[in-house]
Structure 1
Amino acid sequence: MLALGLFIPTIAICARRLHDAGRSGWWQLIGLIPLIGAIVLLVFYVLDSIGENEYGANPKAVEA
């Protein structure tokens, strides 16, 4: 029951992370490919955010 309640928020958080990295949220579908898809998604999730994107500034960016 808990997994069902966390399903939509998990999709939203993963899409937000992919957007921060400059990719579309649709990249989550690559996770349907066994093993390779999970590895690719993991790499995308841990990559650093790009500087400025359409969703806002990088919160780790140093302001001058």
Structure 2
Amino acid sequence: MESFFSRLKVELIYPKNYRTIEEARSGIFAYIEIFYNRKRRDSANDGMNPVAFEEQAAMAA
């Protein structure tokens, strides 16, 4: 969890200037659901994004 929150702060929170709580919520949601969970490459997955890793695992099964 600490690693996740660190990445969230560095990649999203610090570079942005949110004017409202709703803008922040929307930005955080998009970061987690669109970028972090689907597109961001992960060293634990041999540098693949989660979607590609799951597709490869499904084909191997």
Q: For the superposition of Structure 1 and Structure 2, which TM-score range results when normalised by the shorter chain?
A: 0.3 to 0.5
More helix by share: 2
Higher strand content, 1 or 2:
1
Q: Which has the higher contact order (CA 8 A, sep 6+)?
A: 1
